[in-house]
Amino acid sequence: MNRHAAGFCLMLTVLPILCAQERGPLVSFKHLGHLTERIDFLGDTVDIVHVYSNFPDYGWVGAAESGLEGVACVDDAARAAVVYLRHYELTGSEESRTRALALLRFIVRMETDDGKFYNFVLKDHSVNINGKTSFKSFGWWAARGIWSMGLGYRILAPRDSSFASVLRRGIERSFPNIDSLLATYDSCREMSHLRVPRWLFYESGSDATSELLLGLIEYCTSTGDNRIKEYIGKLADGLMAMQEGDLRTFPYGLHRSWQTMWHMWGNGQTQALAAAGKLLSNERMIQSAEREAEGFYSRLLIEGFMKEIDVADSGKRVEYEQISYAVRPMAVGLIRLYEATDDTRYLTMAGLAATWLLGNNIVKQPMYDSASGRCFDGIRDSATVNRNSGAESTIEALNTLVEVEHYPLARRTLDYRKISHGSAPGYLYALFRNSTGDELTLAIDLKKPELLLLEGKSSVDFQKARRHE
């Protein structure tokens, strides 16, 4: 055995693979439709999305983890509206447009006159105005509401100017709240020697702010409003201030989520920065997105997903629970990065990220079922799947797959599974293989440094060279 063999780590798994050529469309709205209820609400007919749905019968279940919450919320309605809107835009589905409109009518009625939002409705369809996860505020649920309204305005305005005006008024009603956030622009504090910007949600919430940014970007794409461009630029500055490391330096270019913490769920900074950089022709934003994609997303694809890590203390690392809300920001972020750069490596990486939903995960089980349209709620540990299927998991899986299926290069990668991953002098890498035996290697060359995506003979030669080191 070669003298380097002791430092060579190789882990093998064999996964069942469904041939890509035999696979039909993955996107099914069947379960999301099951979770949806049409109700009379504040003088209108709207759609709501029930929060939870539990194994084995998958009936509706209300939320009560944080005291009295309710049966449906803006958080889920807004994300569902985003999925339907994108599906309509990419496929022309009239049913998806109709679904999106009904959800948006609910969302605009949950906004208050001062541009803030309530989140939950109770079983009797009254608004929960006092709950810990529902009080009137400008935070997570407002960000998601504005995301859906901004996308709705861009997509629906050419066909339905009347409703688009409603969305426009709702978005612009929130501007004084954005002004309040930005009153502390360029003001930072220090936590464990890390810079923490104060002009984001919750005085460092780059995760929530990324979803607000997505809405502003969509709206600005239609309007070209200079005021909104300024908002986007300043909020993006806050996201970039939360970035640390590079391709070979810990924490490898990730954008912290809040204070010193990174968590995989909802961490949409690359998605937002790539889109913002493209809109504003701002290379610094695009490069920040690339830094996370190449340095950190690559490691997640090579070494496996995790839940969270404290950047100030890397020993505080948590592997589980892993959920589909962690996959979407990564997969769709990589697609937006491709759209900003034309670098096709990011499409391949997006497809590889999405394979988590289809069985390329620690438990080697599909989390999403295209027949029912359900996505399981998560992987609890290295052997256990949470087989409940609530709104968030289902919607985030659909969001991922609607986007990935649009690009053939990303879609064909859904047939690949990780066969091995390892390290050798100067490299971290993983080998992926599809049902017909084609190989793909994703590797980090730590010497140059450089991210490599090798296919066919290049992948075979790379793997052979590593075995002989």
Pick the closest to residue 77 from 118, 138, 126, 130 (CA basis): 118
**pLDDT band at residue 64 under the 50/70/90 scheme:** confident
Please say if the pLDDT value at position 10 is more than 90.
Answer: no
Give the model confidence (pLDDT) of 96-149 as tens digits.
999 999 999 999 999 999 999 999 999 999 999 999 999 999 999 999 999 999
CA-derived radius of gyration, the chain:
22
**pLDDT band at residue 2 under the 50/70/90 scheme:** very low
Which ranges of 110-225 would DSSP assign to H, the alpha helix?
140-156, 161-173, 175-182, 206-223
Cα–Cα dist 414/18, whole Å:
9
Domains of the chain: 25-412 (1.50.10.10)
Please say if the pLDDT value at position 7 is more than 70.
Answer: no
Please say if the pLDDT value at position 21 is more than 50.
Answer: no
Give the model confidence (pLDDT) of 242-284 as tens digits.
999 999 999 999 999 999 999 999 999 999 999 999 999 999 9
Pairwise pLDDT comparison (1 vs 80), residue with the higher score: 80
Mean pLDDT of the chain: 94
Q: How does DSSP classify residue 10?
A: -
pLDDT of residue 130: 93
pLDDT of residue 33: 98
**pLDDT band at residue 443 under the 50/70/90 scheme:** very high
Count the Cβ atoms, other than its own, within 10 Å of residue 2. 10
pLDDT of residue 22: 53
**pLDDT band at residue 452 under the 50/70/90 scheme:** very high
**pLDDT band at residue 11 under the 50/70/90 scheme:** very low
E strand segments, 280-426: 308-310, 313-318, 368-369, 374-375, 378-381, 384-386, 417-424
Cα angle 328, 335, 181; round to 5: 65
Please say if the pLDDT value at position 345 is more than 80.
Answer: yes
Cα–Cα dist 187/195, whole Å:
10
Kind and range of the H or E element at 25? none
Cα–Cα dist 233/201, whole Å:
15
Please say if the pLDDT value at position 5 is more than 50.
Answer: no
The model's pTM is 0.94
Cα–Cα dist 308/318, whole Å:
5
Pick the closest to residue 205 from 140, 295, 294, 273 (CA basis): 140
**pLDDT band at residue 458 under the 50/70/90 scheme:** very high
Residue in the structure block whose two tokens are 């391949």: 348
**pLDDT band at residue 9 under the 50/70/90 scheme:** very low
Kind and range of the H or E element at 267? none
